[in-house]
Chains A and B, each alone.
Chain A
């Protein structure tokens, strides 16, 4: 795994987002994320996967 620790690069420090911070709140309102989430919910409603996968999704397997 090549994930870097937080003090490995300045890049990490620039892009680190603290929970509850202004940037974190901006991301919560990200229109792309909101749209993609709605699309995923609608698409899975239209074409649900097999029941055994649905059970895994719900944690019932």
Chain B
């Protein structure tokens, strides 16, 4: 079944994607930023996600919108990840939430999207101090996402 998600927009000449969350709290602009992290290699990007504060031009990754659409938001973030990796097929994306509950939300998003993304992508999770291939139902602290070599 096709997962429900928002239309995302890529910003020209950058590694940013935008979409609007729509719900009881109104329209909230969300941003997904892929930060180049060459300290760990030329293919490494760090995912930053949150509400976009237009007054400062900064991301707010601690905002809790409660807009009643968290799965749709997560699927939209996953869509941005897919699009980004399709543009940068060698990219390895590091993902961690700013709190354990936010990381679990990411985990829910991956799990609910698993059938679609596992065809083309590998996801590894950090469990304790060891990385392992993602398994549903396991609580990981961090994630690495990259395209499968076929």
Residues of A within 8 A of B (CB): 1-4, 6, 9, 11-12, 15-17, 19, 23, 26-27, 30-33, 36-37, 39-41, 43-44, 46-47, 49-50, 53-54, 56-59
Known: A3-B9, A43-B142. A53 touches B92 (CB 8 A): yes
Least CB distance, B52 to chain A, in whole angstroms = 8
Contact of B43 (CB < 8 Å), options: A1, A11, A19, A59: A59
Please tell me if the beta carbons of A44 and B94 are within 8 angstroms of each other in the complex: yes
Residues of A within 8 A of B92 (CB): 53, 56-57
Q: How far is the CA of A58 from the CA of B52 in the complex (A)?
A: 31
A41 CA / B44 CA spacing, docked (Å)? 10
B41 touches A57 (CB 8 A): yes
User: Which of A16, A30, A41, A58 is the one whose CB lies under 8 Å from B59?
Assistant: A30
Question: Could you tell me which residues of chain B, from 11 to 45, have a CB within 8 Å of some CB in chain A?
Answer: 11-14, 16, 18, 20, 29, 33, 35, 37, 39-44
Q: Is the CB of B126 closer than 8 A to any CB of chain A? A: yes
B residues contacting the other copy or chain, number (CB 8 A): 47
Are B14 and A53 closer than 8 Å at their CB atoms? no
Known: A2-B7, A26-B56, A47-B131. Contact between A36 and B12, CB under 8 A?
no
Supplied contacts A33-B48, A39-B96, A58-B40, 5 more A-B pairs, CB within 8 Å: A27-B57, A37-B37, A41-B37, A44-B40, A53-B131
CB distance B144 to A53 under 8 Å? yes
Q: Is B146 an interface residue (CB 8 A)?
A: yes
Chain B residues with CB under 8 Å of A40's CB are 35, 37, 40, 46, 94, 96
> Within the assembled complex, what's the spacing in Å between the Cα atoms of A33 and B37?
11
The distance in angstroms between the C-alpha atoms of A49 and B146, with both chains bound, is 13
- CB-defined contacts of A54 to chain B, threshold 8 Å: 41
| Chain A positions within 8 Å of B96 at CB level | 39-40, 43
Would A1 and B9 be within 8 Å (CB), given that A15-B29, A41-B40, A49-B131 are in contact? no
> How far apart are A60's CB and chain B's nearest CB, in angstroms?
8
